[in-house]
Amino acid sequence: MSLPVLLAVGSTPSPSPSTSTDPTVATLQDAQESATNAASWVQQNWSTWLAIGLRVLLILVIAAVLRVAVRRAITKLIERMNRTVQAVDGTALGGLLVNVERRRQRSQAIGSVLRSVASFLIMGTAALMILGTFEINLAPLLASAGVAGVAIGFGARNLVTDFLSGVFMILEDQYGVGDTIDAGVAAGEVIEVGLRVTKLRGDNGEIWYVRNGEVKRIGNLSQGWATAGVDVTVRAGEDLDRVQSVLNEVAENMSKDEPWNERLWGPVEVLGLDSVLLDSMVVRVSAKTMPGKALSVERELRWRIKRAFDAANIRIVGGPVTEPEEDPAPDPTETVAAPSAHANPASPQAAAATPITPAPTPSGVPK
């Protein structure tokens, strides 16, 4: 066997140098590797993050600009409505419309509702688009929002009902400030219209706060026109042609006098006999008036009719006047006393009224 082979077989491997286990060196190496990985990740994804940031910024800018534009357009629309109402106020056309204060408050309420709804829709859509840009799953969020909305709807259903009822009342112009309405639960003049509560001024000065959700029916006495009706009761023996002539004269004079010529929107009409009774008859007089002026027109009509009938010697009564009865002559027998049973001693009544004679007492018995 050759020497190199023996050396190769007999030799033992020399020990390898041990690796360094210094913790300081390991920490520096980990930090360097982390920094390198972060730099490489940023280098690889910076374009994606830049695109996401620009997209979010673009969404916010568009939402803000759109919100400002929509709110400004709504404000200009409300201002134009108010200018239109002020232009016709005080004219003949203005009498057919509602008053300026009512239209102003109604337009402001509509504008407030529209601005709030527009802001909610625009900003809510922008928030969902931003979350979608970050690749966030919106399905659980929308489901949770739906459940929360249902829970809030059940808990605050009265509030939601009042709000929705107020919105539709304003949009449909069912009533406004200055109107006299009958809301079922209360009646009076409307002094303030809100989205949740309507304030009414009662006949005695009290203020009623009526929730819009509680109103089931509304009777508006101030929209369009009103009717003034007066029933005139005269004796059954009066001449109807003469009564009608006097009423027509009163109606003609009232239609020419101020301010009744403006409050009357039609001629005062004598409709005829409303009822005929045994001792009286009722003549119906009616007129179309401005809304809310029917009561004052009725009072003025009664005043003028009474004065005209007095001048024409026509009595407004419910029946014929009866003459007062004279006191009857006094009865002379009222002062005479009733006959007594002792007046005739021989009568059976006198005998029955005679006192009983007491029986004699036996002797020897003490009295």
Gap between the Cα atoms of 175 and 217, Å rounded: 12
Among the ranges given (37-46, 60-69, 90-99, 337-346), the one the predictor scored with the smallest mean pLDDT: 90-99
What residues does 289 pair with on adjacent strands? 226, 264
- The 10s digit of each residue's pLDDT in 241-271 is 888 889 988 888 888 888 888 888 888 888 8
DSSP state of 365: S
- Classify residue 129 by burial, with Cβ atoms within 10 Å: 0-12, 13-18, 19+: middle
Report which of residues 194 and 17 the model is more confident about. Answer: 194
**CA atoms in the 13 A half-sphere facing the CB of 212:** 23
Report which of residues 64 and 51 the model is more confident about. Answer: 64
DSSP 77-140: HHHHHHHHHHHHTTSHHHHHSPPHHHHHHHHHHHHHHHHHHHHHHHHHHHHHHHHHHTT--HHH
- The 10s digit of each residue's pLDDT in 300-347 is 899 999 999 888 888 887 544 445 455 566 666 656 555 655 566 666
**Helical packing angle, 100-133 and 157-171, nearest 10°:** 120
- Name residues whose C-beta falls within 8 Å of residue 82's C-beta, 6 or more positions apart in sequence: 100, 103, 104, 107
Highest mean pLDDT among 95-99, 191-195, 295-299: 295-299
- Name residues whose C-beta falls within 8 Å of residue 265's C-beta, 6 or more positions apart in sequence: 225, 288, 289, 290
Placement of tokens 């009533």 in the chain: 175
Q: Where are the beta strands (DSSP E) in 236-365?
A: 269-276, 280-289
Strand 226-235 and strand 280-289: pairing? antiparallel
Closest CA to 210 of 178, 180, 185, 188: 185
pTM for the whole structure:
0.47
Gap between the Cα atoms of 90 and 166, Å rounded: 29
